[in-house]
Structure 1
């Protein structure tokens, strides 16, 4: 075929373009092959762009995000190490942890707990008994010494009446027998302090279920009251541990529905020893209804004791105190109240006595629980609160541990005050 000038011109223009196209295609093919010299290192190690799931294409107007080596990642095979990661994921550690059975706590035996209080009172730094012995051991006791003794008793929150009684008794003994023998002084002071604490008071807890007229077992119902900050909810949880340690079955009632964390806190205490908690499904629910449901659940399950926690109430808020009276009335429709325990902070002094009086009038308190009694020189609060209410201290808090709650033992308490 004759080649004219127009044909030569077309070949001169089109041939370089064709060569460029073929060369570019070859480079693209080589970059798509893993390990080929033409493929860059970053194209194999960089994160692959997101691929649409099986059966789905990219949406209209959506394009895969392209980065360095994106063409190779889209068209070439997925690197081997990624395939392994997707095919064999790591085991779910959280599922394995949840499948383990968490053992229940075994509460410490109740016997012997007061021995720890004796030790802590002795280490609290100049407790009441040590100060009294220091003054009484002087060679000659003048009026200034007797005034110092009375001041020591008042600072220990023993109250004016009991303090005067103790000073009068010590003066009489000093005139009759003298106070020269240290052992005699200690014995005399022990006897007088023990008389003030009154070991004759019944300090047992009424936690024995009773039988209704139809023969149904009715659990003992223990209502726990007190102001905020005294450790009331914690005391309920610790008391549950005391009862479990004594072989009793327990249900907890979270009737403190105004403090958001109260029900959670109580449920945590109960779960540690296998004790169920009856609680409201929302904050601010009627506390009387929760208390009622707790007693009903305890009756249906045939448990020994129902412990009902209530909201912390200030004694000067009449509305809240009226509500406490409502809880008491509602509970007694199902079962009689076996105990109403008032939780007091041993360090609050005379303010605690004011609380005790008001709660006694509203709720009919039958016993006192003194928290934070360890490590304080204000042991006289035991005497004062018993005189104010005419009810005994039944339980004392010994510390922050879960089993640091013990039945009050008057002799062990006095010995702790006098121990050097």
Structure 2
């Protein structure tokens, strides 16, 4: 990460830092010793910062063990220990998308309103800037507006969009898009999908069908299935992650709208619970505001 982005990340995490780190600082400041009351208050602070009950309990238990094992008596050390635990949960290194196939097929899933279409546009823009040939597929055929929106973004970014009529079979769009990607020598194919949850089983069956069709059209595809989550929804993002993880094999997560929310602590709950790593984070509206998630940098920015 460049210094400029780190500064913006730090700034974007201000409200999350206030909601999490500053609460911890307030708990330990002026306290004479580390006792059970401190651990209980710490647990409450973590839960209220959207870290999630299970993750908060686990975090505090690990802090208890470390304090006991290392015979730590100074409450001021708790913040540093917490930063180490946060870094451990988030992982040690970035896990970017690997372009091991041509085309590399990236399936984007998530509920409506999380910033799925703009995420696709930002990924397309970024990969095009890197010199890759990108193609988009409008697989959310449930809403005409979704198809049109992706088409507009495609024109802005300067990439083609494979589309069918509203109400078409999304699997047919995916199949045609793969055929087009292969024949045009495309490097990356990004496929949008519907995000409705009012009929959960129908949506999940549809995603499973798209997966089967993609694998038939191009064995091994999709190579990445990225779930887009909105950080401002807090614990709702965790339940969405669980739901999609059960239905489709996620390879990574994209956390949008981290800037300006106090609920960024949810990234810890997601990282602790999900097998799939956070691959990208969004900290603004600009095209280059979607970046690879770098766990150590994030922990450093969060703790200031």
Query: Is 1:348 aligned with 2:233?
Result: yes
Displacement of 1:150: 0.4
Among 51, 55, 59, which residue is 1:162 paired with? 55
Tell me, yes or no, if structure 1 residue 324 matches structure 2 residue 207: yes
- Aligned residue in 2 for 1:219: 103
**In structure 2, what is the Cα distance between the partners aligned to 1:387 and 1:263?**
35
How many residues get paired?
Answer: 299
How far 1:298 sits from its partner (Å)? 1.0
Matched, 1:365 2:257: no
Moved over 6 A (4+): none
Answer yes or no: is 1:133 the counterpart of 2:25. Answer: yes
Matched residues in 2 for 1:369 and 1:111: separation? 22
Cα distance, 1:315–1:357 mapped onto 2, change above 3 Å: farther
Q: Give the TM-score taking structure 1 as reference length.
A: 0.66
- Residue 190 (1) aligns with residue 73 (2): no
Using the size of structure 2 for normalisation, the TM-score is 0.89
Contact 1:346 1:373 in 2 (8 A): yes
Ranges in structure 2 where 5+ consecutive residues have no aligned partner: none
Higher relative contact order (CA 8 A, sep 6+): 2
CA contact (8 A) 1:130 1:417 kept: no
Superposition map of 1:20-419 within 5 A = 113-122=5-14, 126-140=18-32, 141-175=34-68, 176-179=71-74, 182=76, 184-199=77-92, 203-209=95-101, 218-280=102-164, 282-314=165-197, 316-335=199-218, 336-419=221-304
Q: Distance in 1 between matches of 2:119 and 2:2?
A: 15
Q: Is the 8 A contact 1:115 1:412 kept in 2?
A: no
Alpha-carbon separation, structure 1, partners of 2:22 and 2:91: 20
Q: Once structures 1 and 2 are overlaid, which stretch shifts more, 285-294 or 118-127?
A: 118-127
Question: Larger helix proportion, structure 1 or 2?
Answer: 2
Q: Which has the larger radius of gyration?
A: 1
Deviation at 1:125, TM superposition (A): 6.6
The 8 Å contact of residues 136 and 185 in structure 1, kept in 2 or not, is answered as: yes
Tell me how far apart the structure 1 counterparts of residues 129 and 3 of structure 2 sit (CA, whole Å): 10
In structure 2, relative to structure 1, the CA distance for the partners of 1:206 and 1:110 (3 Å cut) is farther
**8 Å Cα contact 1:158/1:384 also seen in 2:** yes
State whether residues 204 and 247 of structure 2, in contact with CA within 8 Å, keep that contact through their aligned partners in structure 1: yes
